[in-house]
Amino acid sequence: MIRALGVKKSFEKQHVLKGVSLDVRDNETMVILGPSGQGKTVFIKTLVRLMEPDEGVIEYDGVDILKLKDRQLQEFRKNIAFVFQNSALFDFLNVRENMALYLRMHRAFREEEIEERIVDALRVVGLQEEVLDKFPEELSGGMKKRVAIARAIVKEPRYLFYDEPTTGLDRRNSQLVSELIGMLKKEIRVTSVVVTHDILLMREVSDRVALLKDGAIFSIGTKEELSPETLNYLYETGDE
């Protein structure tokens, strides 16, 4: 279980997170929904300490990760994976090398074991072995996103974080990504946190939804509990 309590983050005089609290249950998909510029990406990055909050508590199964030292933090991060909005593939590495990088740096696998895990992860996201020797610039936006997800699951994480996973994708590829998020929850029983402005994605993948506006969560519930009036209020300012 993930628990965030009173998380605050400011950049100079701009207060981005204003005391955000949120619980994420084991094996659920929590969607954090809101327009651009409301603090969603900052919040999800504080959850994994890609950014350090100014105040607050962030616990995983009762352990406050903000108190972990470097070596403890590295050990904790073996349990998490992060899918970035822009996929964040290394342009100078091909798909095989992008996917193998973590395993080579942090795990004691033989090369044949690494290759097997990579191929298995690609198949999960619907890609074939012929993409292994391609570089990111040779991939479509949808393929990049699927490779990024495959790179994440090759770690076999307990917690999987997605930052705007459908941004920049057409409807077909957005649908493929939403199907992947749902499938991974069932196949590897991963706890997922999805940051998005995409209402359709929220409706397709969420177990619960947290509505974030102006750096604060003002509502948490199931998608069935969301009223049109609440969504209208959420999106009355900011860009979708």
DSSP string, 20-87: EEEEE-TT-EEEEE--TTSSHHHHHHHHTTSS--SEEEEEETTEEGGG--HHHHHHHGGGEEEE-TT-
Residue 17 pLDDT: 97
What average pLDDT does the structure give for the chain?
Answer: 93
**34 lies in some domain:** yes
**240 lies in some domain:** no
Dump pLDDT digits (tens) for 46-79. 999 999 999 999 999 999 999 999 999 999 999 9
**239 lies in some domain:** no
Give the total number of structural domains in the chain: 1
Task: Say whether pLDDT at 238 is over 80.
Answer: no
Domain that holds residue 62: 2-234
**75 lies in some domain:** yes
**184 lies in some domain:** yes
Contact 147, 93 (CB under 8 A): no
Contact 19, 78 (CB under 8 A): no
How much is the pTM?
A: 0.92
Dump pLDDT digits (tens) for 4-29. 999 999 998 899 999 999 999 999 99
CATH number of the domain residue 122 falls in = 3.40.50.300
**211 lies in some domain:** yes
Task: Say whether pLDDT at 239 is over 50.
Answer: no
